[in-house]
Amino acid sequence: PGTLPLAGRHVLVTSGPTHEPLDPVRYLANRSSGKQGHAIAAALAALGARVTLVSGPVALPDPPGVTVRHVETAREMLAASEAALPADAAVFAAAVADWRPAEAATQKMKKPADEAAPPMALVPNPDILATLSRHAMRPRLVIGFAAETEHVVEHARSKLARKGCDWIVANDVSGDAMGGAENTVHLVTDAGVEDWPRLPKQEVASRLADRVAEALA
Ligand code: C5P
């Protein structure tokens, strides 16, 4: 009584996109705004958790009361996430770029004289969620996200097993979830699936923070 439910707990959250450089002025990225991940970090802090938020480039302010590590690339996000361990729980809400240019040029790439497009070889990025789910210092509760446009729950179930995490928050991005203020999610665990109504991202965040508090209690 009187103490917040996540007091004394440390929770790691990733949020936002990653930027994968092609040269000093160009990068590969995606449309993630970071709104959902940042809201989750704030909601966990509001329940008393010490929160480390590893954020890719976003246009959002740092949530108050949260330690923020700003990164650009997936590899930097992985390093900052590992450096934040140990943690009691981790929520991987970032939209990490699946691939990066194989080589980032140190000087701006010039247009070839023949107007041809330069070749761009891509290599896969590390999977931060999968890596931390199998880490020697694995947090007790590991939560991943799955943005899907169809077969949302089936894809989330297979992702649970593939990534080695405990829960998947599956969000239906067939509408305007990416960048929008609301989200429709399904919480997929070994125990089953909970369908949540369409809710403001802050409300999704506070419900998820409540569930994290229950799981760690
Ligand atoms: O495989 P997919 O990208 O759909 O999985 C999404 C989940 O995995 C999200 O929780 C996301 O943060 C995480 N992820 C990651 N590192 C990657 C790719 C995805 O942590 N390279």
Residue nearest to atom 2 of ligand 1 (CA): 146
Distance CA 5, CA 86 (A): 19
ipTM: 0.97
Helices (H), the chain: 35-46, 74-83, 128-133, 152-163, 201-216
Residue nearest to atom 4 of ligand 1 (CA): 146
Per-residue model confidence (pLDDT) at position 195: 93
CATH number, position 200: 3.40.50.10300
Contact 122, 99 (CB under 8 A): yes
Distance CA 163, CA 86 (A): 19
For residue 92 and ligand 1, the question of a CB distance below 6 A is answered with yes
**Three-class SS state of 212:** helix
Distance CA 76, CA 13 (A): 14
For residue 127 and ligand 1, the question of a CB distance below 6 A is answered with yes
Report the separation in Å between the CA atom of 95 and the middle of ligand 1, taken as the mean of its atom positions.
Answer: 6
Per-residue model confidence (pLDDT) at position 177: 63
Distance CA 3, CA 143 (A): 25
Query: Cis link prior to 21 (omega < 30° from 0)?
Result: no
Per-residue model confidence (pLDDT) at position 200: 95
What would the pLDDT profile of 8-65 be if each residue is shown by its tens digit? 999 999 999 999 999 999 999 998 999 999 999 999 999 999 999 999 999 999 999 9
- Whether 183 sits among the annotated catalytic residues: the reply is no
Q: Which one-letter DSSP state was computed for residue 17?
A: B
Question: Is 4 a domain residue?
Answer: no
Adjacent-strand bridge partners of 7: none
Question: Is 112 a domain residue?
Answer: no
Distance CA 152, CA 155 (A): 6
Question: Is 114 a domain residue?
Answer: no
Per-residue model confidence (pLDDT) at position 148: 83
pTM over 0.90: yes
What would the pLDDT profile of 78-136 be if each residue is shown by its tens digit? 999 999 999 999 999 999 999 999 999 999 998 878 878 888 899 999 999 999 999 99
Tokens of 82: 């590992």
Per-residue model confidence (pLDDT) at position 19: 98
Per-residue model confidence (pLDDT) at position 1: 59
The pLDDT confidence band at residue 176, using thresholds 50, 70 and 90, is: low
To test the pocket of ligand 1, the residue of 128, 135, 150 to mutate (highest count of ligand atoms within 8 Å of its CB) is 128
Distance CA 192, CA 207 (A): 17
Question: Is 88 a domain residue?
Answer: yes
Q: What is the CA radius of gyration of the chain?
A: 18
Tokens of 134: 């199998």
Q: Domain range holding 210?
A: 10-104+122-216
**Residue listed under structure tokens 């993630």:** 32
Question: Is 1 a domain residue?
Answer: no
> Is pLDDT of 178 > 70?
no
Question: Is 143 a domain residue?
Answer: yes
Report the domain count for the chain. 1
